[in-house]
Structure 1
Amino acid sequence: MSQFTVTGRFQARDGQAEFETTVDAENEDVAREYVLSRLGSQHGLKRTQIELEEVTQ
Structure 2
Amino acid sequence: MSQFTVSGQFKTRDGMQAFTRSIDAVNENVAREHVLSKFGAEHNLNRTQIEIGEVVAE
- Flag whether TM exceeds 0.5 (same fold): yes
Structure 1: tracts of 5 or more residues without a match: none
Query: Using the alignment, how far apart are the partners of 1:45 and 1:8 within structure 2?
Result: 14
Between the aligned residues of both structures, percent identity stands at: 58
Residue 53 of structure 1 deviates from its aligned partner by 0.1
**Could you tell me which residue of structure 2 aligns to residue 42 of structure 1?**
42
Q: Which secondary structure state, in structure 1, belongs to the residue aligned with residue 35 of structure 2?
A: helix
Residue 32 of structure 1 deviates from its aligned partner by 0.1
Q: Which secondary structure state, in structure 2, belongs to the residue aligned with residue 41 of structure 1?
A: helix
Q: Which runs of 4+ in 1 moved over 3 A?
A: none
Residue 21 in 1 paired to residue 21 in 2? yes
Q: Which secondary structure state, in structure 2, belongs to the residue aligned with residue 24 of structure 1?
A: strand
Structure 2: tracts of 5 or more residues without a match: none
**Could you tell me which residue of structure 2 aligns to residue 4 of structure 1?**
4
Residue 14 of structure 1 deviates from its aligned partner by 1.1
Q: TM-score, normalised by structure 1?
A: 0.98
Give the aligned CA root-mean-square deviation in angstroms: 0.4
Task: Report Cα offsets for 1:1-53 as digits up to 9, x if no partner.
Answer: 00000000000111100000000000000000000000011000000000000
Residue 55 in 1 paired to residue 55 in 2? yes
Letter in 1 for 2:36: L
